[in-house]
Structure 1
């Protein structure tokens, strides 16, 4: 599941394969850019911004892409068989003399003037893995809507950029609160450490092939994906319900003993949490 660490890794692979090299192949397989040809231009850099990827090309152009749930960039050596999915899922191909980058199932793909990048990413909050990381600003953003459930606030990339559903669940567990707890009810000491905790967890995982938050041998994550198995701390069955992020419902995991705060009733959905917020 692409989150800030996944996108950071993808940017590093793309940068290593393309940056400083001249494009010998350029194939946009989306109607809007079907006639665009970037061959002959040098790739300047590939930069991650939250969950967005910015591939900057000579001539003041930027290829902006977003992986969302299913997208992926794959890099192949010359002559290597492509293995990212069927050909009809390819949205873009950028190739040099010895490497080819192929974008599969990219739900967002556009060509911008580099000077206009803010149009695509200017709404984002501080990037947890970027040079603009600002923990005080991130906390201020999160606390801007005290009634909003913490899980929803963490997923809102306008607050801080890089957290996805996995880290949302894990951070709430590490803080000892449910994802449905209103931000304004988060104890002051835990609120104060939230930005640093989020930053530390993503930093620790940005170069790992397997995401880990526990430090326990044989167990990568505390709650995400574990329902109805026992909580690694108390043994209570981990629970699962849906929670919205403002755009869609997402499977949300929590321990009813280790995490304090409101939560859907067994068999319910995240809608219960949202009703509490509106009430």
Structure 2
């Protein structure tokens, strides 16, 4: 399930493989752009923006992709067998003299002018891992709808960009509030929300891969298997803090986890 840290890792891999090199092959396997010829263009950079990937090419073009739930980019060396799924799931191939990037199951893939990037990412809030990160601005965005459940507000990329379902559950645990708690009902939200936004940034930054602290996604700081996350994926297992069984219920169609003892606020009936 790609989240902001996963997208930044993917961008780093693609940038290393493609940036500064002319494309020797390019194949966009979506009907709208199937005839686009990008061969010969040099990749300028691959930039993540929230959960979006912007592959910028010379000539003022950007290839915009979004991984959503199960999309992925893989990089292969010369002669290396491609893997990542059956060939019919391939949506994009970008090749250079010494590497090939292959995008599988990309639900969003479009070619646009670099000058028009704001049309696809301009609505996003501050990027947790980007140069525009501002915890106070993110907190103000969250508090703009005080009646909204905290879990839904954290997932709204217009408030802050990069949080997915895993971090949503983990951050609500750290806030000691259920994901159904209205944002405005948090204790001292003017102080709590900037701290929560700053904690979100620290967690994602610690998990971005090379240079990060953890080999696998980790929010607890613990390294024993099964103790990397406080509540996500731990339904019916003991809370790592108090031992109470963790509960699970859908929120906006997504599985959501919380500890009924450590987290106060409204929640679905058992």
Q: Do both proteins adopt the same fold according to a TM-score greater than 0.5, normalized to the shorter chain? A: yes
- Secondary structure, aligned partner of 1:138: helix
Aligned to 2:58: 58
Aligned to 2:249: 241
Matched, 1:252 2:260: no
**Unmatched runs of 5 consecutive residues or more in structure 1:** 267-279
Matched, 1:83 2:83: yes
- Give 1:209 shift: 4.1
Structure 1 consecutive aligned stretches of length 4 or more whose deviation exceeds 4 Å: none
- Give 1:190 shift: 2.4
Matched, 1:261 2:265: yes
> Distance in 1 between the 2:198 and 2:28 partners?
39
Aligned to 2:222: 216
> Distance in 2 between the 1:123 and 1:96 partners?
33
Please give the per-residue CA displacement for 1:173-209, whole angstroms capped at 9, x wherever unaligned.
Answer: 0111100000001112422311111111111111144
Matched, 1:129 2:135: no
Aligned to 1:92: 92
- Secondary structure, aligned partner of 1:106: coil
Please give the per-residue CA displacement for 1:227-271, whole angstroms capped at 9, x wherever unaligned.
Answer: 011101111110000001xxxx100000000001000011xxxxx
- Specify whether residues 57 and 209 from structure 1 end up closer, same or farther in structure 2 by C-alpha distance, changes over 3 A only: farther
> Distance in 1 between the 2:202 and 2:164 partners?
15
2:233 to 208, 211, 225: 225
CA contact (8 A) 2:135 2:194 kept: no
- Secondary structure, aligned partner of 2:268: coil
- Secondary structure, aligned partner of 2:91: strand
**Unmatched runs of 5 consecutive residues or more in structure 2:** none
> Distance in 2 between the 1:6 and 1:143 partners?
27
- Secondary structure, aligned partner of 1:176: coil
- Give 1:215 shift: 1.2
Deviates more, 1:78-87 or 1:212-221: 212-221
Aligned to 1:204: 206
Aligned to 2:70: 70
Please give the per-residue CA displacement for 1:53-91, whole angstroms capped at 9, x wherever unaligned.
Answer: 000001000000000000000000010011110000000
TM-score by length of 1: 0.93
> Distance in 2 between the 1:66 and 1:203 partners?
20
Question: Alignment RMSD, CA only?
Answer: 0.7
> Distance in 2 between the 1:172 and 1:265 partners?
18
TM-score by length of 2: 0.96
Matched, 1:170 2:176: no
- Secondary structure, aligned partner of 1:45: strand
